Amino acid sequence: MAVFGLKEIAGLVNGVLKSAADLDSSPTIQSVSIDSRTIADVHSCLFFALKGVRHNGHQYIGDLYHKGVLSFVVCEPIEVHKYPLAYFVKVEDSLDALQKLAAAVRAKYDYPVLAITGSNGKTIVKEWLYDLLHETVKIIRSPKSYNSQVGVPLSVWNMSDQFELAIFEAGISMPGEMEKLAEVIQPTVGIITNLGEAHQENFSSLSKKLDEKLKLFASCDSLIYRKEQDLVTEQIGQTYGKGDKKLFAWSTSDETADLFLYMHPQAHSTRIQFNWNGREYELNVPFTDFASLENVGHCLAFIFSSGYANDSVMAAFSQLQAVAMRLELKQGINNCLLINDYYNSDINSLTIALQFLKSQSMNEKRPRCLILSDIEQSGFSGSELAQAVNRLLKVYEIDRLIGIGRRLYLNRELFVAGAKFYQSTEEFLTNFRPAEFRNEHILLKGARDFRFERIASVLQQKYHQTQLEVNLNNLVENLNRYRARLNPETKITIMVKAFSYGSGTVEIARALEFQQVDYLAVAVADEGIELRQAGISTPIMVMNPEEHSFEMMLEYRLEPNIYSTEVYEQFDRAARRMAVSNFPIHLKLETGMHRLGFSSADELEQIALRVPREGRLRIQSVFSHLAASDSSDHDGFTKEQFLRFKKLSTPVVANQPNKVIRHILNSAGIERFADYQMEMVRLGIGLYGVSQSDALQAETVARWTTVISQVKTVAAGETVGYGRKGKVTTPKQVAIIPVGYADGYDRRLSNGAGKVWIAGRQYPIIGNICMDMSMIDVTGADVQAGESVELMGEHIRLTDLADWMGTIPYEVLTGISQRVRRVYIQE
């Protein structure tokens, strides 16, 4: 772990140390952060106030100072006297300073450093190399997929002299970025995995993007690549072919390559043969797809070219597993919330997982439990590891620790009081008592060898095998893509009504609150009360308030949509009974949708004058709904709505003592009419992956899957399903899946109208969809019971399902039954 004094850091980043306190008493720094929400160890943390198009870390300095953070790197003027105990390193560019500091850490160590870049496979190659080599050499690597301008320096910061090999991945999205990452990583060995279209929008050609990527390897002694990639091979030769860099090419088609691999695909694995230094090798890997085999090739090339090959490493190839590069959030037994992160266990990834645990439970009073396996090849002695873990337990306020593994067990006396230890996963399961886990947030953090999926199985609330997987990273990415179209000062309301469009209300709201959205909007008060009871503190707007719930809305600070004089009078009477003052309300204006809303200017004027005079309520915002913002055929009507809204809202705004927020744009409106964003916008379906323009390209958020229950042969002349609608004219293979219209899998998808994705291709539904089951025509496919089926996701798009059903994406998402379990993932 890097340890620096602030004076030393100021020199390393070309900054000036400023403070109202004694500069000689400045803190010792042991951790760095760029996210004010994830700082836990306040006394030894250095906060870098980064500036971006829509964010500015300087605005959080005051809050962080009050929480105890005393060390900051800034690039804006700071009134130092306002923070008498704090220390500020003033620099020209705080991101550049973070990278300079990481480069200084990197320069302290002379063991090999492998840098991996490419369009795909970076994280998988990194993780597989760790799995293959961690018993041979002590490795530090990028946590998760930390490969950006910020992620790389945060990864390199964790280097120490206890390791013997570092593996970092690097990704870029625009020209000029890779040179900065190269200065941070200073690699001795490089791998370029492949070249594809990812982030191509900022490069004029693939060749230009490759030129940028190759800048990562300027300091390398050797560079590994696949010879079949013609453009890669050509440009590597042009860039580095005449120097003293060792270029190591591997191939499956060119026997003159440095490493030539014979690939022999089998049913569920691939046999690989090759010769190295006169010795014949043969191994089996449990993959048959091209991408996985290419990643295996990169691993083999690095292992042999770098001298790490031995019998145990070769045997480990047969045990490689698909990399789960994400945290999974699931409902657990006895009202527990379960976070699965059991594909590896090291101090860096443990810190990230604990940050996620804290973000999910920060507004709730439920205890936090960590179930942790041995941390293998950590580079720490038993006492040092216990000290590091104990520090994290304290920093992230973990209430109890359950340690699993021989090493933890032998050092159990060194850990905090109250912890329990087991020598193996089997011992834990033998002694497992469900009643001991109740109303907790539980983090499972284990190395693969401990097979913590078995623990997850007993802790997870049991559902049938159909699930909706919600990708929180993609949700946040969509939020940021819409935010990028807005002015920095424009507020944003997120629609989480109707179970967050089927995605799950509380979990989505927690993720959005962490992203500091300005408002959440629900349909009815019950939805808002559920969020408040779950600890959500973000302002909440109720779009369809009902009189019987008004007092509960006041109690839970839920702000109503007031759409008529009658509703105003009802809510005002409730406010009088509850003796509140200055309670926020939102006035809905009718501009052409002809649903709820004020259409009379006289009514609006009377309320606009009454509200400030009486003082019980406060007009927080005025808003309206666009009827057809997604259709260019109605753009003239949409612009008429803008004019009506401006005309109706202007007198209301003018008669209030407070600044009134105006909002009319929905998701399609943000994309197509950003000039009318006013003070706030409302984001709904766009957040969940349905965009109106190719330019925005919203990411898929929800993936709906199930498994095959049975596969059977149906003879010619037989029928399938109710009503005998699935007529079989030739023998067919039919797969039965446990999902039906009670799950929200609509009957309109019956009889070939809908399709599913299994093992690389689409297959049609045969016969009528039943309440709990559907039948799929898989004739000619090699599929079997237990195989995964995608109902909606990357291959069967949400818009595909909507088109096949003859409806809109909203109906598909909100129609997915709550009996379908929701699983939340975060990379």
pLDDT at 603: 92
Q: Which of the residue ranges 1-5, 462-466, 774-778 would you say has the lowest mean pLDDT? A: 462-466
pLDDT at 417: 73
| CA 427/CA 88 separation, integer angstroms | 51
| CA 624/CA 97 separation, integer angstroms | 46
Inter-residue contact 402 to 416 (CB < 8 Å) = no
Residues 6+ apart with CB under 8 A from 427: 404
Task: Give ranges for CATH 3.40.1390.10 in the chain.
Answer: 4-98
Among the four given CATH numbers 3.30.43.10, 3.50.50.60, 3.40.1190.10, 3.40.50.300, the one describing domain 109-319:
3.40.1190.10
DSSP for 716-744 reads TT-EESGGG-EE-SS-EEEEEES--GGGT
Annotated catalytic residue 497: yes
pLDDT at 378: 63
Q: Domain 702-826: give its CATH architecture.
A: Beta Barrel (2.40)
Confidence of residue 7 (pLDDT cuts 50, 70, 90): very high
Q: Which CATH superfamily is domain 4-98 in?
A: MurE/MurF, N-terminal domain (3.40.1390.10)
Task: Give ranges for CATH 3.20.20.10 in the chain.
Answer: 469-688
Confidence of residue 1 (pLDDT cuts 50, 70, 90): low
Q: What is the DSSP letter of 750?
A: T
Q: Which of the residue ranges 99-113, 114-128, 321-335, 432-446 would you say has the lowest mean pLDDT? A: 321-335
pLDDT at 304: 97
pLDDT at 6: 94
pLDDT at 464: 66
111-143 pLDDT, tens digit per residue, is 999 999 998 889 899 999 999 999 899 999 998
Average pLDDT for residues 557-578, to the nearest whole number? 95
pLDDT at 317: 95
pLDDT at 145: 76
For residue 703, pLDDT over 90 is answered with: yes
For residue 363, pLDDT over 70 is answered with: no
Q: What is the 3-state secondary structure (H, E, C) of 302-316?
A: HHHHCCCCCHHHHHH
Average pLDDT for residues 494-502, to the nearest whole number? 84
For residue 489, pLDDT over 70 is answered with: yes
- Strands 246-251 and 222-226, by their bridges, are parallel
For residue 791, pLDDT over 70 is answered with: yes
| CA 255/CA 431 separation, integer angstroms | 56
Average pLDDT for residues 416-430, to the nearest whole number? 91
Average pLDDT for residues 775-795, to the nearest whole number? 93
For residue 364, pLDDT over 60 is answered with: yes
Confidence of residue 197 (pLDDT cuts 50, 70, 90): low
- Among candidate residues 556, 722, 725, 810, the one labeled active-site is 722
Q: Which helix (H) or strand (E) holds 702?
A: strand 702-707
- Strands 719-720 and 726-727, by their bridges, are antiparallel
For residue 63, pLDDT over 70 is answered with: yes
Q: Which of the residue ranges 2-16, 441-455, 618-632, 785-799 would you say has the lowest mean pLDDT? A: 441-455
For residue 203, pLDDT over 90 is answered with: no
For residue 85, pLDDT over 90 is answered with: yes
For residue 325, pLDDT over 60 is answered with: no
Inter-residue contact 520 to 538 (CB < 8 Å) = yes
For residues 529, 531, 536 and 537, what is the CA-based torsion angle, rounded to 10 degrees? -30
Q: What is the DSSP letter of 822?
A: E
Confidence of residue 75 (pLDDT cuts 50, 70, 90): very high
Confidence of residue 625 (pLDDT cuts 50, 70, 90): very high
For residue 299, pLDDT over 70 is answered with: yes
Beta strands per DSSP E along 496-639:
519-522, 540-542, 558-562, 583-588, 617-623
Q: Domain 469-688: give its CATH architecture.
A: Alpha-Beta Barrel (3.20)
DSSP for 13-30 reads TT-EEEESS-GGGPPEE-
pLDDT at 694: 74
Look at 559 and 322; give whichever has higher pLDDT: 559
Task: Give ranges for CATH 2.40.37.10 in the chain.
Answer: 702-826
Q: Tell me phi and psi for residue 640, to 5 degrees.
A: -65, -40
Look at 331 and 263; give whichever has higher pLDDT: 263
- Among candidate residues 126, 215, 497, 732, the one labeled active-site is 497
536-567 pLDDT, tens digit per residue, is 999 999 999 999 999 999 999 999 999 999 99
pLDDT at 365: 75
Q: Which CATH code is given to the segment(s) 327-462?
A: 3.90.190.20
Confidence of residue 461 (pLDDT cuts 50, 70, 90): confident
Average pLDDT for residues 205-213, to the nearest whole number? 90
Q: Which of the residue ranges 375-379, 500-504, 650-654 would you say has the lowest mean pLDDT? A: 375-379
Q: What is the DSSP letter of 158?
A: T
Inter-residue contact 432 to 333 (CB < 8 Å) = no
Q: Tell me phi and psi for residue 309, to 5 degrees.
A: -70, 135
Confidence of residue 710 (pLDDT cuts 50, 70, 90): very high
Q: Which helix (H) or strand (E) holds 116?
A: strand 113-117
Minimal CA–CA distance to 527: which of 556, 562, 551, 548? 556
For residue 250, pLDDT over 60 is answered with: yes
Average pLDDT for residues 507-525, to the nearest whole number? 92
Burial 606-620 (b: 16+ CB within 10 A, else e): ebbeebeeeebbbbb
pLDDT at 697: 82
Look at 355 and 184; give whichever has higher pLDDT: 184
3-state secondary structure of 73: strand
Residue 697, Ramachandran bin (φ over 0: left; ψ between -120 and 50: alpha; else beta): left
pLDDT at 500: 78
pLDDT at 712: 94
For residue 361, pLDDT over 60 is answered with: yes
Annotated binding site: 595, 771
pLDDT at 3: 85
The CA-CA-CA angle for residues 720, 725, 730, to 5°, reads: 55
pLDDT at 449: 81
Average pLDDT for residues 279-289, to the nearest whole number? 91
Task: Give ranges for CATH 3.90.190.20 in the chain.
Answer: 327-462
Paired strand residues for 623: 588, 663
Structure tokens at 662: 């105006």
**Helices 505-514, 525-533: inter-axial angle, 10-degree rounding:** 60
pLDDT at 394: 87
pLDDT at 321: 81
Annotated binding site for substrate: 595, 771
Diameter of the chain measured on Cα atoms:
93
Paired strand residues for 223: 190, 247
What are the CA-CA distances from residue 693 to residues 672, 686, 812 (Å)?
A: 8, 11, 20
What are the CA-CA distances from residue 9 to residues 2, 91, 150, 504, 741 (Å)?
A: 11, 11, 18, 45, 61
What are the CA-CA distances from residue 218 to residues 144, 181, 188, 212, 243 (Å)?
A: 25, 11, 9, 11, 10
Inter-residue contact 818 to 505 (CB < 8 Å) = no
Confidence of residue 41 (pLDDT cuts 50, 70, 90): confident
For residue 81, pLDDT over 90 is answered with: yes
Intra-chain end-to-end CA distance of the chain, in Å: 24
| CA 398/CA 561 separation, integer angstroms | 40
Average pLDDT for residues 585-600, to the nearest whole number? 94
Output the average pLDDT for the chain.
Answer: 91
Look at 128 and 38; give whichever has higher pLDDT: 128
3-state secondary structure of 673: coil
Inter-residue contact 155 to 146 (CB < 8 Å) = yes
pLDDT at 155: 94
3-state secondary structure of 56: strand
Confidence of residue 366 (pLDDT cuts 50, 70, 90): confident
Percent of the chain with pLDDT over 70: 97
Average pLDDT for residues 487-499, to the nearest whole number? 91
Number of H helices, E strands in the chain: 26, 42
Task: Give ranges for CATH 3.40.1190.10 in the chain.
Answer: 109-319
Q: Which of the residue ranges 119-133, 191-205, 433-447, 578-592 would you say has the lowest mean pLDDT? A: 191-205
Average pLDDT for residues 66-83, to the nearest whole number? 94
What are the CA-CA distances from residue 480 to residues 544, 731, 797 (Å)?
A: 28, 51, 21
Annotated catalytic residue 82: no
